[in-house]
Amino acid sequence: MAEALARDAGAHGVASWTTAETRATSTWTSEAYETTYANATATTTKAMNRDAIERLGYDERVVVVSAHVDTAHASAGGSDAGACAAIALETMRALSARIAAAANEKAKSGGTASPVMCDAKARRCASVVLTFSTAEEDGLAGARGLTASREWARRAPQAILNLESMGAGGPHRMFQARADTAVGRQALRAWARVAPLASGGVFGDDVFKSGLINSGTDYSVFRKFSDAEALFDFAFVERTMVYHTPRDRVKYIRPGSFKHSGENLLEFLSDYVTRGGFESEGDDARATKSSPPVSWYTIPGYGMVVHDAPRRETHAVFFAAPLVLFAAFLHKAYVGEIFASSSACSEAARVRMENTFRLMVSVPFVIAGCAASWMGAIASAALAPATVAFAFGEPSLYVARPLALGALAGSAACLAFICVQRFTRMLAFAMMPLPVKMKSNADDERVVEWSLLLGNVAIWGAAASRATRAEIGSSYIPLLWLILPSSIIIAPVLVPWILAHGRSSETEAAPPPPTPMNVAFAIAAPVWITFPNAALVLRVLQGIGARSPLSDDIVYLYDAIGGAVVGIFVAMTCSFLVPGAVAKEDSASWRRGARISIITLASACAYTVVFMRANAGVHWTALSPQPLVLTHISDASFSRSRVVLARAGASRTRRVVEHLESNPAIARAFTFDCTANATYDFVNTVVRGACVIDAKQKTPGVDALAMEARATGASPPKFTTPRQRHAPNVRSVTMDVGESTRWVLAVDTRCVARVAIKALYDENDDESPEQWVRVEPYAPGGKKRHVLNGVGGLSAPSTYAIWYETRDAETRARYFSSDDEAQARACAKGLRARTDYVARTPSVVAVDAALPTWAVPFGKHRSPQWLGFVETHDVLN
């Protein structure tokens, strides 16, 4: 590729080159655990105007397009990240062709225009770097090694575009971006302007930061270590259930996905090259200038919009404005004109004071009732799917049927919202002064409906105020729902009525509230903009829940989260539609709405029963398969070896085992131990609910599965005899990980106080510790292991020096409650090592082939690969 690029562009002063980075060894913290990496290889290609930069002294502005080329062991890597690598490569080829064409045009014209890829006036040139990194799937170690060793990283590239995938095609959405710098804002606006099919939004960025999505990309490493002023992270998110499974294949990616991503990248890079990069602020300017948060989102049918979010200082306005409007409305309805002179009559003054008190009580009570409507709707929507899933004993029950989840959670949310709003209506009516009630039924119903509507608008104001104060880009969502309906159906009607003077008794009645058609028109734009976000987040969270390890106590968490997402959107819509239905005393509207909600809720439950019975209790499908961890684990001495089938996330394995046991060949070959509370130790985690598979046909004294593991030729980890170093409690030991490129070391927090690791490239390397990692003190009920994740390339060293400092005897005695036997057992395995290999044993192949179509192996850096070996070390001897 580099040679082709050089041929296209080299004759015009544009240089392209490729190099490999092979020496990078360090330890860094990612996702609350340490990763040791060695020889993480990266390949880079660079297009630049070498003549202008090196001879003419132009400043260089670098944009990086990054993709990783490794994949999870269980995945074919079609979308993650084969598609990304292909898109990046083809984009670089097309860009080089454009640069060469531009250079030819300049050469033919013979003018004094700016050199190609440069801005002569600003004396700066753009350079484009394409980088392929490795070890992304193993704790993001490849990107960390890249930033620590590559020349462009040390020079701080101006912008980095990271290509990723969490699914299989669709729009390549921008879901994370750095926009807190002037260059970041320039880049975002340039992307929105020139990318023909820009897609994505800051809402995904905020969801990612919240921790709901238990995953990470190279973007986080670039953000922390590269000092790039603009960072974009793109991902495919369609069919997220095939992520990191054998079904992530190129042929399953939706047609047009490559074209969508490539065209966007090419146009952005062409714009960047044409302008010679972005204008950068100096360090002093960046340090002293306060950057407002930026909102960026896609309007379906229009494109991407980028604008500054309101500054934090303005947050109070968004709650105060609807609150003042609400109070002014009730003052006019309860007391009279705001600026009218007070009557000298004592009775009139008393009535005015009483009505003013009613106003002061009504406003907070109605707002509290509206807030309860929101909370009741969201809580009901979360409880409904979690309760049904619990009743069937199947987490992630609706992962393959999002419409059923929408019907179930949405009807529960709507019913709860209607009921609480109806109660709030009764409360508002009770607070109303008697003269208002006696005017006419129409007038008191108008006052109640306006009160409920304004109470819900105040909730939107509170949400907008909180989001603005938190300085999150997603503040545009509550602002849309606050400003558009308020400016269309509320303020134009109420403000003139409130400010009017001298009205006759016939015209003092409250103005008619907006009709349902007017309300629907007012909220059409907010619904149009926010619904795609809600649907996308729902699907992504469903996929994340199916592959995120959860304890039995919270195994239905993502069922509840999915329902809550639906509930939030339903509450958003109901906040404007329901007040008109519940305000009237004998209105059939709210009863009809409640009846429809109940029927929908019952129908969704009935549908769940039908599809569960029709599918023999299986809710997974071939398009949304159940992700499973399938691995062969053996101890280092080959005395005990087992195949383990474990859930990857919120799911159960019982239906999978039932299917396997119904297969005659599998039933003859294996036995299954799948007790409900069975656990299996993977070193870095203890999996509950795992199925331990053993060979049924056994030769006395021979473990058939251990023989399979031995036959692969893979080497188990080995520890040498420890040597005491310096302080009495400090020891060193050498660990040999064989030919494995990934390994795990777990340290017992009750026995070890700190640990250090160093790769040994040859026997003459200095074994002194370079970087100590402190092990957090053990707390009762807390984590008992501190995990270090190790990765390396094929040329990485196989031997590591490990130093550890044991805790003093008094501390260990306290942690083990003076139980010497328990302490001896635990510290005898104070160091646990697991080495992983991609070799598949015959038993793993057989079990994989026998899996149902709705279940697939899944791989993640925290789960073992196809084959793993475990060894322990006594830290006290």
Q: What is the mean pLDDT of residues 413-418?
A: 97
Q: Token pair of 835, please?
A: 């080495």
Instruction: State how far the alpha carbon of 274 is from the alpha carbons of 61, 65, 92, 117, 271, in Å.
Output: 12, 17, 15, 6, 5
Fold of 2-18+41-280: Aminopeptidase (3.40.630)
Output the average pLDDT for the chain.
86
Fold of 718-833: Jelly Rolls (2.60.120)
Tell me how far apart the alpha carbons of residues 8 and 100 are, in angstroms, rounded to a whole number.
6
pLDDT in tens, 206-256: 888 877 777 789 998 898 888 899 999 999 999 999 999 999 999 889 999
Listed in order, the ranges of the chain carrying CATH 3.40.630.10 are 2-18+41-280
DSSP letter for each residue of 484-530:
HHIIIIIHHHHHHHHH--S--GGG-SPPPPPPHHHHHHHHHHHHHHH
DSSP summary character for residue 665: H
Q: Token pair of 270, please?
A: 């062409």
165, 75 contact by CB (below 8 A): no
511, 333 contact by CB (below 8 A): no
Phi, psi of 383 (to 5 degrees): -70, -35
- When pLDDT is cut at 50, 70 and 90, the band that residue 506 belongs to is very low
Q: What is the mean pLDDT of residues 158-185?
A: 92
- When pLDDT is cut at 50, 70 and 90, the band that residue 1 belongs to is very low
Q: Token pair of 397, please?
A: 């029950």
- When pLDDT is cut at 50, 70 and 90, the band that residue 726 belongs to is low
Give the angle 188-190-195 at the CA atoms, nearest 5°: 100
Q: Which residues pair with 835 in a beta bridge?
A: 743, 869
Best-predicted range by mean pLDDT among 245-254, 670-679, 721-730?
245-254
How far does Cα 831 stand from its chain's mean position? 32
Determine the longest span between alpha carbons in the chain, in angstroms. Answer: 108
Report the percent of the chain where pLDDT is more than 90: 56
Given a cut of 80, whether residue 16 has pLDDT beyond it is no
Q: What is the mean pLDDT of residues 26-35?
A: 45
Segment (H or E) for 420: helix 402-431
Q: Please give the torsion angle defined by the CA atoms of residues 693, 699, 700 and 702, in that order, rounded to the nearest 10 degrees.
A: -70
Instruction: State how far the alpha carbon of 735 is from the alpha carbons of 30, 543, 546, 762, 835, in Å.
Output: 22, 37, 35, 14, 11
Nearest to 797 by CA among 755, 839, 762: 762
Tell me how far apart the alpha carbons of residues 219 and 224 are, in angstroms, rounded to a whole number.
9
| Peptide bond between residue 650 and the one before it cis (omega within 30 degrees of 0) | no
Residue 270, number of CB atoms within 10 A of its CB:
18
- Kindly provide the b/e burial profile for residues 212-248, where b requires at least 16 CB atoms within 10 angstroms of the residue's own CB: bbeebbbbbbbbeebebbbbbbbbbbbbbbbbbbbbb
* Range from 92-106, 384-398, 453-467 carrying the lowest mean pLDDT: 92-106
Nearest to 21 by CA among 133, 159, 137, 139: 133
Q: Is 851 exposed, middle or buried (0-12, 13-18, 19+ CB in 10 A)?
A: buried
Q: Token pair of 259, please?
A: 């074209």
- Kindly provide the b/e burial profile for residues 349-370, where b requires at least 16 CB atoms within 10 angstroms of the residue's own CB: eebbeebeebbeebbebbbebb
Tell me how far apart the alpha carbons of residues 321 and 561 are, in angstroms, rounded to a whole number.
32
Given a cut of 50, whether residue 9 has pLDDT beyond it is no
pLDDT in tens, 312-353: 899 999 999 999 999 999 888 887 776 555 555 666 676 677
Given a cut of 50, whether residue 22 has pLDDT beyond it is no
pLDDT in tens, 809-866: 999 999 999 999 999 999 999 999 999 999 999 999 999 999 999 999 999 888 899 9
611, 401 contact by CB (below 8 A): yes
Instruction: State how far the alpha carbon of 102 is from the alpha carbons of 15, 50, 124, 279, in Å.
Output: 15, 16, 17, 22
Q: What is the mean pLDDT of residues 80-98?
A: 92
Plot region of 110 (φ>0 → left; ψ -120 to 50 → alpha; else → beta)? left
Phi, psi of 576 (to 5 degrees): -105, -25
* Range from 117-121, 344-348, 674-678, 813-817 carrying the lowest mean pLDDT: 344-348
Phi, psi of 35 (to 5 degrees): -125, 125
Nearest to 452 by CA among 375, 524, 373, 525: 373
Phi, psi of 137 (to 5 degrees): -75, -10
Listed in order, the ranges of the chain carrying CATH 2.60.120 are 718-833
* Range from 153-157, 271-275, 397-401, 537-541 carrying the lowest mean pLDDT: 153-157
- When pLDDT is cut at 50, 70 and 90, the band that residue 602 belongs to is very high
Nearest to 326 by CA among 459, 427, 444, 479: 459
DSSP letter for each residue of 196-238:
TT--B-HHHHHHHHHT-S----HHHHHHHHT--SEEEEEEE-T
Angle between helices 704-711 and 842-850 (to 10 degrees): 110
Q: Which residues pair with 236 in a beta bridge?
A: 165
Given a cut of 60, whether residue 665 has pLDDT beyond it is yes
How far does Cα 616 stand from its chain's mean position? 33
Length of the chain: 877
Quote the pLDDT of residue 7: 43
Q: Is 477 exposed, middle or buried (0-12, 13-18, 19+ CB in 10 A)?
A: buried
Segment (H or E) for 468: helix 441-469
* Range from 446-455, 489-498, 624-633, 771-780 carrying the lowest mean pLDDT: 771-780
Nearest to 152 by CA among 135, 128, 132, 176: 128
- When pLDDT is cut at 50, 70 and 90, the band that residue 765 belongs to is low
